[in-house]
Amino acid sequence: MTDINASGTQAGEAGFGDYVALLKPRVMSLVVFTAAVGLLLAPGALHPVEALAAIVFIALGAGASGALNMWWDADIDRVMRRTARRPVPSGRVEAGEALGLGMALSGIAVVMLWLATNAVAAGLLAFTIFFYAVVYSMWLKRATPQNIVIGGAAGAFPPLVGWAAVTGGVALEPLLMFGLIFMWTPPHFWALALFMKDDYHNARVPMLTVTHGRKATRRAILVYTALLVPVAVGLGFTSVGGPVYLASAVVLNAAFLRGAWAIWARDEATAEADKYLVEKKFFRLSLWYLFAHFGALLVQAAANPWIGG
């Protein structure tokens, strides 16, 4: 009767939700959205079931790389407040399980995307998983303050994969969508690092705030935001852009640039005094910023038949 009375050792047995949490569902939702936009805006069309399958397997690939990241980073996740409750550091899922799930789902996602669409999309997805799990998590994250800059590429691939799923190749438009997410990632995460002060420091992750100081981080946010603006607005002049997108992009980028300027103009004492109000506002805005750009692309595509775009 001992194995039934399991209140002690097995209290940590994982529920289904814990395995879902390994796949980083919140990141996945962003991946689904941006991949869907890439897929819907590409010239040509997939059968609706093929399109659905493509998005499901792109999301699954992203989730698999999330699980691999949680396997590799369990030791630093344990130290950081923001991540301490993740399934592996909290002990609900064993690290080996996360590895197994990540590897299995990676294989399934890539092969199924290949069968559902084409080899280019599948290859790009495989590269995305490799980039996030190996290049970012294993090589860069703990080695260089540029971790976020280069690692951001992993999050930027989905619209490219979505586009390739339809066309079997890449073009300027999805490359600019890639550039939009790529350039957006550093200011987004550095703003987070500014107000999640001690986390990265305790975990010894060489975030820019830790290695170059907070003043340099504020400057870097402004520089990257300034570089982001031409990419975001430039997308409006390609075949997927138009007046609706351009108007949204101009407003959003003006607001984003203003926020970055405000962060740069402040010193640490002022930020400390109002509990990083401006940084938190900028971080929230950055979430809306990305969502709204891709939303505007969709609205533009829907509006094109009426405005003759």
Residues interacting with other proteins, by CB under 8 A?
Answer: 4, 6-7, 10-11, 13-17, 19-20, 47-50, 52-53, 56, 112, 115-116
Q: If you ran DSSP here, which 8-state letter would residue 235 be given?
A: G
What count of Cα atoms within 13 Å lies in the side-chain half-sphere of residue 51?
A: 17
Helix (H, G, I), strand (E, B) or coil at 240: coil
Q: What minimum distance in Å lies between the beta carbon of 101 and other proteins?
A: 12
Residue type for 198, please? D
Tell me whether residue 83 or residue 117 sits nearer to other proteins (CB atom): 117
Q: What minimum distance in Å lies between the beta carbon of 53 and other proteins?
A: 5
Residue 132 is inside which H or E element, if any?
Answer: none
In terms of Cα–Cα distance, which of 248, 285, 284, 301 is closest to 43? 301
Q: What minimum distance in Å lies between the beta carbon of 10 and other proteins?
A: 6
Tell me whether residue 46 or residue 74 sits nearer to other proteins (CB atom): 46
- Helical H runs in 168-196? 172-195
- Residue with token string 């399109």: 51
Tell me whether residue 16 or residue 306 sits nearer to other proteins (CB atom): 16
Q: Are 95 and 73 in contact (CB under 8 A)?
A: no
160, two tokens: 């490219």
How many Å apart are CA 216 and CA 218, to the nearest integer? 5
Q: Are 182 and 228 in contact (CB under 8 A)?
A: no
Tell me whether residue 15 or residue 230 sits nearer to other proteins (CB atom): 15
Tell me whether residue 117 or residue 248 sits nearer to other proteins (CB atom): 117
Residue type for 45, please? A
Residue type for 297, please? L
Q: What minimum distance in Å lies between the beta carbon of 71 and other proteins?
A: 19
Q: What minimum distance in Å lies between the beta carbon of 107 and other proteins?
A: 14
Tell me whether residue 70 or residue 176 sits nearer to other proteins (CB atom): 70
In terms of Cα–Cα distance, which of 251, 125, 237, 260 is closest to 183? 260
Tell me whether residue 52 or residue 257 sits nearer to other proteins (CB atom): 52
Q: In the chain, count of helices (H) and strands (E)?
A: 15, 0
Q: What minimum distance in Å lies between the beta carbon of 11 and other proteins?
A: 7
Q: What minimum distance in Å lies between the beta carbon of 120 and other proteins?
A: 16
Tell me whether residue 20 or residue 172 sits nearer to other proteins (CB atom): 20
Residue type for 17, please? G
Residue 207 is inside which H or E element, if any?
Answer: none
Q: What minimum distance in Å lies between the beta carbon of 13 and other proteins?
A: 6
Q: If you ran DSSP here, which 8-state letter would residue 12 be given?
A: G
Q: Are 162 and 55 in contact (CB under 8 A)?
A: yes
